[in-house]
Structure 1
Amino acid sequence: MATILVVDDELGIRALLSEILSDEGHTIELAENATQARSVRERMRPDLVLLDIWMPDVDGVTLLKEWGSAGLLTMPVIMMSGHGTIDTAVEATKFGAIAFLEKPITLQKLLRAVEQALVKTAPPRPAPAVVGLPSYARPEPGNLPPPTTHTMALSSHLPSNNALASEQSFELDRPLREARDAFEKSYFEFHLAKENGSMTRVAEKTGLERTHLYRKLKQLGVDLSRNKRGNGG
C-alpha cells in the first residue's frame, strides 16, 4: 500500500479522505496548509499527494509550481477543488498534476483516481530471469511465453444446499485491487448467507462497525436484498 499526503484546509475533508484511504490500507499524512505540506514533503517522500487548490496561505497550484521548479515533484499529485473550472484543471495539469477531482468527491471517483495514479507511477516489473542456459540459447524478451494465469480456489464450509457452498475461484494474475475486491465480495457474501442476512452478526464476525460494513458492501456491489431476513436483521 501507499503513503498518501492529503492537503486541505477543511478539517472535515481531511478526516473523510483519511478514513476512506486508511480503510483501503494506505498510510495517511495530513496537512492543512502549504507550510505543513512542505514540512511533510521534506520529512518524507509520499507516494501520492491529494492537494486542495483553494487554501488560505498559498493556493495548491502555486505549491505545485513550487515543487515542480525545485525538482520536488517526484510523486503524482491529484488536485481537488469545489470551485474549480476547466481552466483551473488545465493549468494544474500543465504544471504537473495528473488528475483533478471536483468536490464533493464521490467514493468511486476518489478510489479510481488514487488507484490509477499509483499504477501509473509504479516501477515496471523486471523481466523474468532465465538461468541454466548459455547466452546463445536464452530467448529474447519479446519471444518469452505469455505469463501463466494463476488462480486461487477457496471452498465455503456451508450446507450443501446453500448457494455459496460451491468452490470460489479467484484469478491472481490481475491488479491487487481487483483481486482483493473479488475476495472481499465473496467473503462478505459468505458471512451474510451464513448469518441469514443479519448485519449485526456479520459486523461482529468481521470486526467492522455497522456503518463501515454498509459502506463496504455498497462499494463492493454486494446484493443485500438477496440476503435480507424477514425480521430485518
Structure 2
Amino acid sequence: MARILVVDDEIGIRELLSEILYDEGHTVELAENAQQAREARQRTRPDLVLLDIWMPDTDGVSLLKEWASQSLLDMPVIMMSGHATIDTAVEATRIGAIDFLEKPITLQRLLKTVAAGLARVRLPQGTAVAAAPAPAPVAAATAQLTVPHHQQAPAASAAAYSPGLAATPAAAVAPAQADAAEPPAAANQVSGVSLDLPLREARDAFERIYFEYHLGRENHSMTRVSEKTGLERTHLYRKLKQLGIESSRKRSL
C-alpha cells in the first residue's frame, strides 16, 4: 500500500483516479490546485504524485520546478495532461518527472505507470550513483525487478533445503508439517471474514462490515460517516453502491 497524492483541478478526474487507486489498496489524498498540493506535501511526503499540468493558479510544471528548487522533489512525480505538447513533457522530465500520462488515461496505462513509479528507486539529489553500495533491501528489490524468474529459481531451490536433513528438499516433508500446523477453522477468520478468500473478495467483505458499523454508529449520517472514514462524500456514495449497501438505508445527510 502506498500514499498517493492526486493533483488535478477537475473533480471528475480526481474522484475517478482516487476510486481506482483506492480499490488497488492505496491511500489517496486529493488536491484541486497547486496550493493544496503544497500543503499536502508539507504535511507528509507522499510515495508518489500524479500531477496535472494545466491548473488555474499554478501550472504543474511550475510546481514541479518549485519543489525541485526547494529540495522537495524526493518522490516520483507523474505528469498528466490532455493538451500538453511534446516539449512540455520533455521539460517536465528534465526537471524531475519520471513519466507522463496523456488524458484520457486508460486503466491499464494508469496502473502500469503507477506500479513502475512506486518500484523506482530514487536517490537523494546530488548523490553519485557509485558513491556507496546500495543497502541490502534496495539491492534485493532491484534484483527482484531485473533478474528473470528462471534465473532466480536455483537460489530459491537451494534455500528450500532443510539444513538438518542431509540436503533433503523441505518440500518432501511439507505435507507432514502442514498437517501438524493446520490451524483451527476459527483461526482462518477475522471478524467473520474468511482468510481463505481471494484478497479482493476478503477486502470487500471486510469493507461491508466496516461501513455497516459506521453507518449504524453515526445513525446513517453521511456527513459524519464521511468524516469518520476519511472519504469524500461522493466517493463514499460510490463505495457503498459498489459494496451492495442499499441506498435506501442512507436516511440522512
TM-score of the alignment, normalized to the shorter chain, above 0.5: yes
Question: Match of 1:49?
Answer: 49
Secondary structure, aligned partner of 2:120: helix
2:139 and 2:53 map into 1 onto residues whose CA distance is 40
Residues 1:92 and 2:101 aligned together: no
Instruction: Note closer, same or farther for the CA distance 1:124–1:10 as it changes in structure 2 (3 Å cut).
Output: farther
User: Displacement of 1:212 after TM fit?
Assistant: 5.5
Please list the CA deviations of residues 154-185 of structure 1 after superposition, one character each: whole Å capped at 9, or x if unmatched: xxxxxxxxxxxxxxxxxxxxxxxxxxxxx669
Q: How many residues align?
A: 150
Superposed, which structure 2 residues align to 1:133-172 within 5 Å? 146-148=155-157
The whole-number CA distance in structure 2 between the counterparts of 1:109 and 1:124 is 31
Aligned to 1:59: 59
CA distance in 2, matches of 1:80, 1:103: 7
Q: Compute the RMSD of aligned alpha carbons.
A: 3.2
Structure 2 length-normalised TM: 0.52
SS of aligned partner of 2:50: strand
Shift of 1:15: 0.3
> 1:9 Cα deviation (Å)?
0.3
Q: Are the counterparts in 2 of residues 76 and 121 from structure 1 also a CA contact under 8 Å?
A: no
Name the aligned partner's letter for residue 84 of structure 2.
Answer: G
- What is residue 73 of structure 1 aligned with on the other side? 73
- Residues 90-123 of structure 1 deviation map (CA, whole Å, 9 limit, x = unaligned): 1110000000000000000000000000011388
The 4+ residue runs of structure 1 with deviation greater than 4 A are 206-209
* Alpha-carbon distance in 2 for matches of 1:42, 1:120: 22
Q: Give the match's secondary structure for 1:57.
A: coil
Shift of 1:28: 0.4
Aligned to 1:18: 18
Q: Does 2:104 align with 1:104?
A: yes
SS of match in other structure, 1:84: coil
Instruction: Return the structure number with greater helix share.
Output: 2
Structure 1 residue runs without a partner (length 5+): 129-144, 151-182, 189-202, 214-233
Instruction: For 1:107 and 1:124, locate their aligned partners in 2 and report how far apart those are by CA, in whole Å.
Output: 34
Question: 2:137 is matched with which residue?
Answer: 125
Distance 1:126 1:59 in 2: 34
The one-letter amino acid of 1:58's match is T
State the shift of 1:88 in Å.
Answer: 1.1
Partner of 2:131: none
Deviation at 1:126, TM superposition (A): 6.2
The change in CA–CA distance for 1:126 and 1:28 in structure 2 (over 3 A counts) is closer
Change (3 A) 1:147 1:80: same
Is the partner of 1:112 in helix, strand or coil?
helix
Question: SS of the counterpart of 1:100?
Answer: strand
Contact kept? 1:8, 1:55, Cα under 8 Å: yes
Cα distance in structure 2, aligned partners of 1:38 and 1:184: 34
Residue 84 of structure 1: CA displacement? 1.2
